[in-house]
Chain A
């Protein structure tokens, strides 16, 4: 067994302790990692890469910048691929900050690695509220939205605008259960009533029997506690059953403007959903979107892509104030200490648990006749003020928060 001896000698030769703190190398390197080929490719994907580059361009117009590079990769929604890429980015390619990362399992993995390597992680695409809860980290900022904010926004605001009886259509696994539980709690707290719930297999194809139960329940609101293709399939089939025409409304708990775009207004009309950002809200948003459209096959930016822009802008500010990007935790601490301000998200702040705070908006999808043109999809139904939009800091069980 000669090779075994060789293995042992090699082991002792290379088993030097891992290199300690790396000095920054004169370049700020930003890694955008997301889904570029699957379910989330439209809402994050290359659009997020563009948004990160745009943030750098805009920031460097009015500030003196050193060399800033953007690299990107497709994690294919697999945590092991994502984890492999991010480790390699940090160890070999000297990436300083990772941005976006939809799919909660991948985001949680990146969250751990970033803490271990003391870099920075700006989450825009992932929904998991654990990122600022049990899994919170001094190296992570959760920028755009999370499941709690969506459940709260939709649950609370819908009840206040008259939708006080709810029926839940829930994907039968941990994520769906959590979404249903959180939303139901909000609905009941705001004075609404949950009249029924039904669980569908994940992933589901045929929702007809569940939709019939929902119809018979006579609830005013049908809450969709599911995601991705389950949501779009249930919306399509609800349209076929004429649920919206029958006076009931659908409330999506995890729906993006790209889903509405894919479904078309005929199918999606009347759907109620919560988002952090909409392209047609302010002049600054419209200007950003016009440029985005030119570079991205005529699509409008999603809140996730806008969040990438906003997060990168704030990161660059913090790095410049510190004059170093070497210590990820220090940069994130600086980001938390400085109030946020940018063209797209306006003024805001980052809490001690890493949660970025801004208002959330409750939208209703327009009917085809109300829509003035392509991508004119939403009517604003309510604004959830920043103070109420996110989970109170003492309820997240984040170890960073002192009680």
Chain B
């Protein structure tokens, strides 16, 4: 089957390049940050089959690191974002080393427990500012030259970060390494019997996912100029699951579609007041009941159904001559 991923991605980027002319850039930046978060999460759940319920620890903690280094130590935003990413990857190494020893619900519970520990650390540690969070993080010039105080300028920086993150994930999925991950997802004992050191593969995928989540979290801290407890709560881990399921688990574009849907609901339905959560719940239930594969998953399946008969007619004469 022909691979349309790259043309779709190019079209998406082209759309995103002109999007801020029509849509509010801060909102778009938020969508991009969450899309990257969901993509990183999907790398683990969609391609290794590990459902982490603790990704908020990487997302939220990296936001604190990037906000703190930029605000209190006066670092440039690029170093703040890198520091957040590095710390998240390191945290991912520790959390991953513990969590990958178990599968399924136990894996989810271990990650949740570790995330709760990080939450309590953030709640208690003096540098996070407790309930108030770290506020008023300055947007200093990027690399010392590019003024990112204007939302328009910063939007293109965030878009570049998002595109880089997407390409890293895309490359990972389609590399030999990614093939091994998928093999582990499908049948772990067989992967072991083929001689793969499954734990090392899983750990590396976990660290990669944690690091990219950290990239999303630390960028978000600079976008909103704040880091708060919201991003480390278990509900935030739940939102990553929700976005991925709504968009389509294990699909390349699903998580970002899911992120766009959920974030749009949170922002544009805010005027409905108390009904936001109800609407969100109803949409989730509908998705789970009717589009089990998520929005993108269903579209892909539909495309495959339409394409199959034609492929068969093309291939059958070839097999006949054989």
Contacts and interface: CB of A to CB of B under 8 A. Distances in A.
A74 B156 contact: no
A83 interface: yes
A108 B133 contact: yes
Nearest to A173: B123
A193 B276 CA distance: 47
A13 to B, nearest CB: 10
Contacts of B69: none
B9 to A, nearest CB: 8
B131 A84 contact: no
Contacts of A185: none
Nearest to A112: B136
A84 B228 CA distance: 14
Interface in B204-251: 220, 224-226, 228-231
A368 interface: no
Interface stretch (A2-10, A157-165, A270-278, A389-397): A2-10
- Interface on chain A toward B: helix, strand, loop, or mixed SS? helix
B230 A79 contact: yes
B200 interface: no
Given A18-B150, A91-B24, A108-B132, A80 B228 contact: yes
A104 interface: yes
- Interface on chain B toward A: helix, strand, loop, or mixed SS? helix
Interface in A1-54: 2-3, 6-7, 10-11, 14-18, 36-37, 41, 45-46
Interface residues of B, number: 48
B230 A174 contact: no
Contacts of A210: none
Interface string B73-100: 0000000000000000000000000000
Interface in B1-33: 10, 13-14, 17-18, 20-21, 24, 26-27, 30
Contacts of B159: 7
B153 A15 contact: yes
Contact of B18 (A10, A11, A15, A109): A10
A88 interface: yes
13 contacts: A3-B10, A3-B163, A11-B153, A14-B152, A46-B273, A73-B271, A80-B224, A91-B151, A105-B133, A111-B135, A128-B132, A173-B131, A174-B132
User: Ordered nearest first, which 5 A-B pairs have the shortest CB separation?
Assistant: A174-B130, A36-B273, A73-B270, A37-B274, A79-B228
Interface of B: 10, 13-14, 17-18, 20-21, 24, 26-27, 30, 123-124, 126, 129-133, 135-136, 149-153, 156, 159-160, 163, 220, 224-226, 228-231, 266-267, 270-277
